[in-house]
Amino acid sequence: MYNTVIFDLDGTLLNTLDDLADAGNRLCAARGWPQHPTDAYRYFVGNGIPKLIERLAPPEQRTPEILADALAWFKADYGAHMRDKTAPYPGIREMLARLHAAGVQMAVFSNKADALAKGVVADYFDPALFAEVRGQRPEVPTKPAPEGTRALLAQLQADPARTLYVGDSNVDMETANNAALDGCGVLWGFRTRQELEEAGARYLATDAGELERIVLNGCKE
């Protein structure tokens, strides 16, 4: 059994793709930038909102001043609309409740801005389920850099050998590997099985029930 589980947020616990894509396309429309189909955002997101804005901006628009202004615009707009279509994936709430009852310590670590991550988790889940919810903070490198994960492990007083990191992308599996954690890729998220396998996922889960079994039955001595 894994004593601690750290979850990614977007594409793992919550399906946020439509709200992110809608906000991105509103930004593009407001700036006269090309808009994109929703599926394209599966690959635009995952490295934090500043990187999303950089990917949306045409090359000639990627000056520090333009990107900073676009980032502020996006954060305000997305913050007002991030609950329009977002919802937990099937079975996630029930799985979290059972893991909590089994004594598993849980946390959320996202590349979404810290305030936005805390807000959206509080909207959809019982806050008592998580020992910590942490998003991207300006002074900490974004995932997959290991600094944020290591700081979170220290705060949780978690044993890395008995901690599972769960996410839906190569960024998440690289996050796990860089912090010397086992990684579980979820197949209901934004990315593909092939990407997760190539990024070094130890486990793959097809649904919340399978993920629960991995947590409770994995980490064999």
pLDDT tens across 28-78, in order?
Answer: 999 999 999 999 999 999 999 999 999 999 999 999 999 999 999 999 999
| 21 and 126 together in one domain | no
Show which of 46, 81, 116 is a domain's final residue.
Answer: 81
Q: Which two tokens stand for residue 59?
A: 């090359």
Q: Which domain holds residue 197?
A: 4-15+86-217
Answer with the residue of higher pLDDT: 66 or 221.
66
What was the pLDDT predicted at 159?
97
Query: Which CATH number belongs to the domain containing residue 115 in this structure?
Result: 3.40.50.1000
DSSP 33-85: PPP--GGGHHHH-SS-HHHHHHHHS-GGG--HHHHHHHHHHHHHHHHHHTTSS
Locus of tokens 């990614």: 8
When divided into structural domains, the chain yields a total of 2
- H or E stretch at 96: helix 92-101
Element (H, E) at 108: strand 105-113
- Same domain membership, residue 153 and residue 94: yes
54 with 117, same domain: the answer is no
* C-alpha to C-alpha distance for 184 and 202, rounded to whole angstroms: 6
73-122 per-position pLDDT tens digit: 999 999 999 999 999 999 999 999 999 999 999 999 999 999 999 999 99
Tell whether 10 and 54 lie within a shared domain: no
pTM of the shown model: 0.94
Widest Cα–Cα separation across the chain? 57
